[in-house]
Every structure is written in C-alpha cells, then in structure tokens.
Structure 1
Amino acid sequence: MTQGSDLLSLTEHRDGIWHMKLSAPRANALEPVFLDTIRAALDQIETTAPSALVMTAGRNFCSGGDVARFFEAVKAGQGKAYAQSVVPVLQEIVLRLTALPAPVVIAARGANTGGGCGFLFASDLAVIHPTSFVQPYYARVGFAPDGGWTALLPERIGAGPSLAWLQEDARKSCADLRALGLASHVSDTPEAKAFSLLDDVNLATLATAKTLVWDAERLARLDRRLKAETEAFYQRIDQPDTLKGMTAFLSPQEA
C-alpha cells in the first residue's frame, strides 16, 4: 500500500512496517497543509495495526515552523490565528507518535530545529547522519517552545538539561545527541540503518515495552504539558519582542 504527494510518501515497507518520507519545501517547514498531510498519514497507519514506523527525510530533517509565515501573519494581525493552524496540529502529531503502539524510528540528516524536533523527541530509536544537529532557536526568535521541548524532552534527558538547552539556545552536534541518548546510532546511511534495526527483533515485544512505559497516566500528563506549550505559544506570538526577534532572525536571510 502506497500513498504519495509532493509533501510526503507513505509506503508499507513490509509486514506492517510503514515508511513515511517527508519531502515538503524549505526543509520540511511545518506549514498547515504539511502538518495536515502528516496527520492524515497517521490516520491511515493507525487503521492497520502497524508493527513499526520509520520516518525519513531529505538532507535536512525538519526546520520547524516557518518563521517568515509567522512574521507575515503577525504583521497582518493574524498571529494567533495562524498559530492555531500550526501548533495544535504539531502537538497532536507528537502525542500520537509517542502513543503509537509500535516502535517509531527516525533517520535524520542535517538540521532538526524548533518544533520539528518533536519528531526526534517522540521517536523510540533515532539514527542520525554525522552532519546532524539540533537547535531550539526559541530564545533568539521569541516563540514559546513547542513540539515537546518542555513537555517531552524532560522525559528523555531530564528537566535540568532540557531547561539549560533552551536557555542557552545551544546547537547540539551529532556527538552531543549521542551523549544525551537522543540518538541511538550514527551512520552515513541512516535510512538503511533505521530499517536494519527492525530486522531480527520481535517487534511485538518492542511494542509491549513502549506501551508499558507510555501508559495512560504518562500519556495524559504529556497531553496536558503539550497543551500548556500551545497556550504559551499563543501568548507569545503577538508580543512586540517576538516581532522584533522574528525581524532580526529573518534579516540575515533576506540580505
């Protein structure tokens, strides 16, 4: 079974292992139509009792929200309205990937920034290319964190390191991500390695382990925290300092 568009392709690789390849413009920038397409792909996967999901992309995994689109929306007095078409859908996807009763494996190259890091945080295994890096950018742009930076990342690496990362707006390299436990493997061919991790293992056992860790209580707590991120994003998006931050962020790119 295969489903394709200009934004992503969805293929049943074998025996219930699904492959979602992201291919949206501007390094998979999280725009409304793209997020809706991912949500529809998850709808399809969830009807099939999947045994695993592998997510791949191009030379950059995901650049997060499109700052230029947010900038234009805020200048037009539509900042919150545009955020409402982006942030809650991203949060839903992060929650659904975490709750999916099957292992989620991502293969990432290059940049993974802002809210796009939610895919990494929600994955069970991650294979990254040596060029891979992660950076929040919130402190520079002025947005409130989304995509699980405060809701899910502390579950992965602890509250203190998560907060320090956000406050420093640090760029974490391939080696850093390995040390933090956010990447399980480094490979020059991360896509092939990601699929190979699902060979010769009992996928039902992996799914059982995941559902025991992410039980109803823990998922409910994650849902509350993701909703809190969303509300904080709405409060920050129309602030004057956020507009100033977006302007400064975009100016070098425009120049």
Structure 2
Amino acid sequence: MSLVRLEVAGGIAHLTLCRAGMHNALVPELLEALLGALGEVRDDPRARAVVLAAEGPAFSIGGDMRRFQRERGDLQAYSSRLVGLLNEAILALVDLPQPVVAAVHGLVTGGSLGLVLAADFVYLTPRVALKAHYTTAAFGPDGGWTALAPRLAGLRRAASALMLNRTIRADDAVEWGLATEVVPADALLDTATATAQRLASFPAGTLRAAKDLLWGDRAALAAALEGERRHFLDLVARPEAIEGVDAFLRDFHDYPHDQE
C-alpha cells in the first residue's frame, strides 16, 4: 500500500499522506514516498499548485514512537535517517516552484509540524492541536520547531510551545502566524482546493518569484534544520531518550498500533 497518494487534476496536484492506521506517524518509508511524489510534482507541467492533506484521524502525530522503541538497538542511526529525510521533505516543499496549500486536521505533533510550516497556505479545522512533545520524550526538537516556528510565531511563543509543551489550538495557530485560517471540518478540502485553483490561475513565474522572496535564504534554513538534526542525534544517544520513549508509550495508552 502506498504511503503517499499523488493525483493531478485540473492543474492541482493532490498529495495525501495515507498511513491512516498509524495516524500518519512519520517513518523513513513515508518520507521517502513523499519525497518521490514531490519530485514528480516538481517535474509535472500540469501541476500549477499543490494541496497537501492526510487520511485518517490526524494529519500526523510526528515520529512513530513504536518504531523508535523497536529501533532502540541503533537509535542514533535510525534517527539520523528519519530526521535527515524529514529535513529533505521540508526543503523540497519550500523549493517547489508551485505554491503549496496544506489542509490540516486533528493532531500535528513533533516533527510533522515541519510539513505544515513548509506550506505557503495552511487551513486548519477547529479541533486541530499542535504540540511539540519533546520534553515528554527527551528528544531534541526537529521539524522546524526552532528553524521555522520562531520566524513565524516569534521567539517567546515558540519557546512556550516547545519548552513548556504548550498545546497550540487552531485559533492560536492563526493568531501566531502558523496558519492561514480556521475552516469547518466539512469544508477543509474544498477550501484548500479552491485556494489552489485560484493560485493555479495566476502567472506561474510571478508565484515562483513571490515564493522565493518570501522564503528568503534557503541555505540558512537548511543549516538551521541540520542544527536540529545534530542536536536530535546527540540527545537520542543518551539513556534518557530510551526511557522517554518507553514512558511516552506507557502514558499515552491510545497511541496507535501498527496496522500495515
């Protein structure tokens, strides 16, 4: 079963995360599939805008904690691969010549926030909750929690969410500049698609120039994401990380089980 579905119709590329049974928890295989799909979108002249969405009860619950637990024998090597691929996916979204519209529902936790922050437009349902969980798991922040979130929300707000593990509700995410608008759940995909269709009607060169200028120094972003990866690897090599994974899975009894 494909972990990412790509459909192109009417000038819009629809990218959908399809690991629904695991709430789209991030694993290398999903990120590799996403990178492959993004490469296809980049080279497809039919695709003039992108809608990024997800199946299942949540957009994505971040790195798969059960997979971290299974990889405890060489957690640092696994984490290097996972966070490296996540960074590549974030940069690929930013580098796409087409504008990206994210349609986000449910939970967005840990590194999966990076897939949201890398979009150009972000629509949320009212029950969306963004949460870091790094202090819970004793991991280092990744997914742009330090590389992107402070730029959008400000240092103090990012610090409260990251260090105090504060839940960011949908309305707060818009107020903080992390999202574009909150829309009813039953209108989420229609709203995101309508925005993508409007974007697709504009000159592609103008949109590309606007995107390049708005995102600014791509090399600086790549360096900041690499800094997150290095700190993640440093912390995940410590005993607290294994203890944190076990404690996280004990505390969150409703954490999904593999269904693939």
> Is the pair's TM-score, using the shorter chain for normalization, greater than 0.5?
yes
Q: Structure 2: any 5+ residue segments left out of the alignment?
A: 255-260
Aligned-residue CA RMSD (Å): 1.6
Tell me how far 1:109 sits from its aligned partner. 0.8
Task: Verify: 1:198 aligned to 2:196, yes or no.
Answer: yes
Aligned to 2:257: none
Cα offsets for 1:146-172 (capped at 9, x unmatched)? 111111112212223212221111111
Task: Verify: 1:85 aligned to 2:85, yes or no.
Answer: no
Q: Give 1:209's aligned amino acid.
A: A
Aligned to 2:48: 51
Whole-Å separation in 2 of the counterparts to 1:73 and 1:199: 42
Tell me how far 1:203 sits from its aligned partner. 5.3
User: For residues 203 and 160 of structure 1, do their structure 2 counterparts lie closer, same or farther at Cα, with a shift above 3 Å needed?
Assistant: farther
For 1:62-141, what aligned pairs fall within 5 Å after superposition?
62-74=60-72, 76=73, 78-141=74-137
CA contact (8 A) 1:102 1:203 kept: no
How many residue pairs match? The answer is: 246
Q: Give 2:16's aligned amino acid.
A: K
Whole-Å separation in 1 of the counterparts to 2:253 and 2:182: 34
132-141 vs 243-252, which deviates more? 243-252
Q: Structure 2 length as normaliser, TM-score?
A: 0.89
Q: Give 1:147's aligned amino acid.
A: G
Give the 3-state SS of the residue equivalent to 1:154 in structure 2: helix
Q: Structure 1: any 5+ residue segments left out of the alignment?
A: none
Tell me how far 1:254 sits from its aligned partner. 5.1
Whole-Å separation in 2 of the counterparts to 1:151 and 1:137: 17
Tell me how far 1:35 sits from its aligned partner. 1.0
Whole-Å separation in 2 of the counterparts to 1:207 and 1:158: 26
Q: Give 1:231's aligned amino acid.
A: R
Cα offsets for 1:197-255 (capped at 9, x unmatched)? 1344525333321112224xx10000001111111111111211222221211113459
Whole-Å separation in 1 of the counterparts to 2:67 and 2:95: 30
Q: Could you tell me the percent identity over the aligned residues?
A: 32
Tell me how far 1:51 sits from its aligned partner. 1.8
Whole-Å separation in 1 of the counterparts to 2:95 and 2:203: 16
CA contact (8 A) 1:62 1:116 kept: yes
Task: Verify: 1:60 aligned to 2:58, yes or no.
Answer: yes
Aligned to 2:234: 235
Whole-Å separation in 1 of the counterparts to 2:100 and 2:144: 16
User: For residues 251 and 101 of structure 1, do their structure 2 counterparts lie closer, same or farther at Cα, with a shift above 3 Å needed?
Assistant: same
Task: Verify: 1:208 aligned to 2:206, yes or no.
Answer: no
Give the 3-state SS of the residue equivalent to 1:19 in structure 2: strand
Q: Give 1:72's aligned amino acid.
A: R
CA contact (8 A) 1:65 1:114 kept: yes
Aligned to 1:248: 247
Give the ranges of 4+ consecutive aligned residues of structure 1 lying more than 3 Å apart after TM superposition.
none
CA contact (8 A) 2:51 2:196 kept: no
Give the 3-state SS of the residue equivalent to 1:169 in structure 2: coil
Task: Verify: 1:157 aligned to 2:157, yes or no.
Answer: no
User: For residues 213 and 244 of structure 1, do their structure 2 counterparts lie closer, same or farther at Cα, with a shift above 3 Å needed?
Assistant: same
Aligned to 2:7: 11
